[in-house]
Copies of this chain bind each other. A is one copy, B any other.
Amino acid sequence: MSFKKETRILGIDDGPFKKFSSKETILVGSVFRGGEWLDGVLTDKITVDGFDSTKKIIDLINNSRHKKQLQTVFLDGLTFAGMNIVDIKKLNNQVSLPIVIVSRKKPDFESIKRALKNVSKSEKRWKLIKKAGEPIKVKTNSRKEEKPIFIQVEGMEESKAKELTKMISTRSRIPEPIRISHLISTGIVRGESYGNA
């Protein structure tokens, strides 16, 4: 194992929102020691279908007292608050940390391209999608019936990113810092959250 058991991970997710009435939703980051121990919670708000996700995540990380301990940043998908898409290369460059994007199923680029037609500046957004590169499959759980997840990586060798993703998926097939940020963001917006991912 090339990672320390307590390597500090930030896992980021957004909250749910009402498609036609919400202007913004919550952004939640969980600071973890490996896949075991929650060490802090970071929050901000981002604009639905906006362009501020990259900047908000950069600031969330660089302004945090946790920054100096952090080793890797995991994101729950590349699109936040609807079609507010993260520039993975800019994020990696501005926070000087490897970025791992996690998807529960293989991203369907054709349907993303179609969905982009419903928002402004679809070409600009499409370029950000392409920038993140090809998703690679990771089987995080040894149980046969468990589905794999998919990751896109910036600033770390793919083999290492796969190893780390497996290591921190301690309670489900989803990396624990992502699972927890999802439970928190949904609990805040809806008043209640449940379950494994």
Q: Which of chain B's residues have a CB closer than 8 A to the CB of A122?
A: none
Among A88-96, A100-108, A135-143, A179-187, the stretch that binds chain B is A179-187
Q: Which of chain B's residues have a CB closer than 8 A to the CB of A193?
A: 40-42
Q: Which of chain B's residues have a CB closer than 8 A to the CB of A117?
A: none
B43 contacts A194, C-beta separation under 8 Å: no
A194 contacts B40, C-beta separation under 8 Å: yes
Q: Which of chain B's residues have a CB closer than 8 A to the CB of A66?
A: 192, 194
Q: Which of chain B's residues have a CB closer than 8 A to the CB of A28?
A: 187
> In the complex where A65-B192, A194-B66 touch, is A187 in contact with B41 (Cβ < 8 A)?
yes
Q: Which of chain B's residues have a CB closer than 8 A to the CB of A187?
A: 28, 40-43, 184
Tell me, yes or no, whether A171 is within 8 Å of chain B by CB.
Answer: yes
Q: Which of chain B's residues have a CB closer than 8 A to the CB of A184?
A: 41, 184, 187
A62 CB to closest chain B CB (Å) equals 12
Tell me, yes or no, whether A44 is within 8 Å of chain B by CB.
Answer: yes
* Band of interface residues on A: 20 to 34
Per the 8 Å Cβ criterion, residues 15-56 of A in contact with B are 28, 37-44
A43 contacts B195, C-beta separation under 8 Å: no
B171 contacts A37, C-beta separation under 8 Å: yes
B188 contacts A43, C-beta separation under 8 Å: yes
Distance between Cα atoms of A186 and B31 in the complex (Å): 14
Chain A interface residues toward B at CB < 8 A: 28, 37-44, 64-66, 171, 180, 183-184, 186-188, 191-195
- 14 more contacts with CB within 8 A, not counting A40-B194, A64-B192, A184-B184, are A37-B171, A38-B38, A39-B194, A39-B195, A40-B193, A40-B195, A41-B192, A41-B193, A42-B191, A42-B192, A42-B193, A43-B188, A44-B191, A188-B188
